[in-house]
Amino acid sequence: MTHIPDQDILISAPDEAFHEIAPSTLIYGAAGTRRAAALAGVKTSGQAYADWTQVELFRTVDVFFRHGIRHLIMPMLGPSQFEEATPEYHKYLWRWFVEGLSGENALAHYQNAGWQVRIICSQFIPNVQRAGQRLIENTPSGSSHTLWCYVVPEYHQPWEWLLQGVSQSKATNRSEAMLALYGEEISSAEIYIGTGKPQMSSLQLPPLLVNGPLQCYWSQRPGYSLDQRQLRAILYDYAYLRKTWKKDKSGRAEQALAERDLWERGNVLGLGIRKGPSWHPPPFED
C-alpha cells in the first residue's frame, strides 16, 4: 500500500508540496455568488456586486494556481441565469461577464499575474467573440497557468459547438477536435469541485475535457469561497484517500466484515433539506 502522509502536516506545508499531487486540469463550478455577496454585506445588484465578485474570483483563481493546477476550468454562466427575470441582474448579465473578464482592469491583472485566460468556444458565441479574441491578444500565451471561462446560454449548445468545430476542422480524433475547440490540447480533468446540489450537466463538463475518472467534491459555501485549507484537504483526499483500486483484490471484500455497520447503514450522498429558498445537506448526525 502507498504510504499516506499525515494530513495535518501536509496541509500546513508550503504551496510547492502540493505541486506533485495536484492534477494538471481541474474544474471549479462555483455557484451562489449573490448569496456570498449578501453574506459579505455587499448589495446583490449593480456594479458593486460585479466589482466585488471579480475580486473574489481573482483571489480564488490564485489559490488554485499556487497549488500546481495548470488548467483551471470555470463554468460561470448557464441557462438558469439567462432564464431569470430578476430586474437588473438579467439586463446586465452579459455586460458583467464580458467586462469582468476582458475589461482593462481584468487584463492588467492577468498580465501582472502571468495568467493566460480564454473563454471556451468563444468563436461560436456572438456575445463573447470580441471578448474572447481580446483575451487571446492580451494575455500571456504559453503561460504555465490558464484560466478557462465557460458560459452556456442553453444546455444543447456545447454539443453543437463540438459538432461545428469537428465539421470545420475535419477532425478525426479527440486531439484534433480539442485543437478546433480550445486552440490547444488540454489534459483530461481529474477533479471537479462544485457548489450546492450534487449535479452535473453540459454546463459543468465542457466537451472533450473528461477522458477518465473525475473525482467530485461539493462545497456548501456559496460563491468564490474556496480557501487554501479546503483546497488542500481536497487534494489530499484525491491523492491519497480515494485511490483504493488494487490489481489483486484477494480478501478485499471480506475486510468489510470488520466494519459491517459502516457499510450497512445505507447513507445516500445527495439527500438534503430545504433551507428557505435553497437546498442544503441535512445537519450532521452522529
Q: Residue 285's pLDDT is what?
A: 60
Indicate the DSSP class of residue 18. Answer: G
Is residue 266 predicted with pLDDT exceeding 90? no
Long-range contacts of 199-202 (CB under 8 A, 24+ apart): 201/78, 201/155, 202/152, 202/155, 202/156, 202/157, 202/158, 202/159
Contacts of 223 (CB under 8 A, 6+ apart): 30, 31, 32, 33, 35, 36, 37, 53, 56, 195
Q: What pLDDT, in 10s, does the model give residues 91-134? A: 788 888 999 999 999 999 999 999 999 999 999 999 999 999 99
**DSSP bridge pairs for 279:** 274
Angle in degrees, 0-180, between the axes of helices 174-182 and 157-169, rounded to the nearest 10: 110
Half-sphere exposure of 248 (CA within 13 A, CB side): 3
This prediction's pTM: 0.94
Among 171-175, 176-180, 227-231, 255-259, the range scoring the smallest mean pLDDT is 255-259
Residue pointed to by grid coordinates 459543468 = 204
Of the chain, the percentage scoring pLDDT greater than 70 comes to: 98
Q: Residue 244's pLDDT is what?
A: 86
Contact 282, 273 (CB under 8 A): yes
Is residue 242 predicted with pLDDT exceeding 70? yes
Long-range contacts of 88-95 (CB under 8 A, 24+ apart): 88/45, 88/46, 89/34, 89/45, 92/50, 94/127, 94/128
Q: Residue 222's pLDDT is what?
A: 94
Q: What average pLDDT does range 179-204 have in this prediction?
A: 95
Q: What pLDDT, in 10s, does the model give residues 44-83? A: 888 899 999 999 999 999 999 999 999 999 999 999 988 8
Q: What average pLDDT does range 172-191 have in this prediction?
A: 96
Residue 22 burial by Cβ neighbours in a 10 Å radius (0-12, 13-18, 19+): buried
Q: Residue 87's pLDDT is what?
A: 78
Measure the CA angle with vertex 14, ends 10 and 19; round to 5°: 80
Choose among 184, 107, 176: nearest CA to 142. 184
- CB-CB neighbours of 83 under 10 Å: 10
- C-alpha cell at position 75: 463554468
Most confident of 235-244, 256-265, 276-285: 235-244
Q: Residue 170's pLDDT is what?
A: 97
Q: What Å distances lie between residue 271 and 197, 199, 216, 242, 279, CA to CA? A: 9, 12, 16, 21, 10
- C-alpha cell at position 83: 432564464
Distance CA 102, CA 206 (A): 21
Q: What average pLDDT does range 138-162 have in this prediction?
A: 95
Among 116-130, 213-227, 272-286, the range scoring the smallest mean pLDDT is 272-286
Q: pLDDT averaged over the chain?
A: 93
Q: Residue 264's pLDDT is what?
A: 86
Q: Residue 141's pLDDT is what?
A: 87
Q: Residue 245's pLDDT is what?
A: 85
Confidence of residue 227 (pLDDT cuts 50, 70, 90): very high
Choose among 51, 150, 153, 57: nearest CA to 110. 57
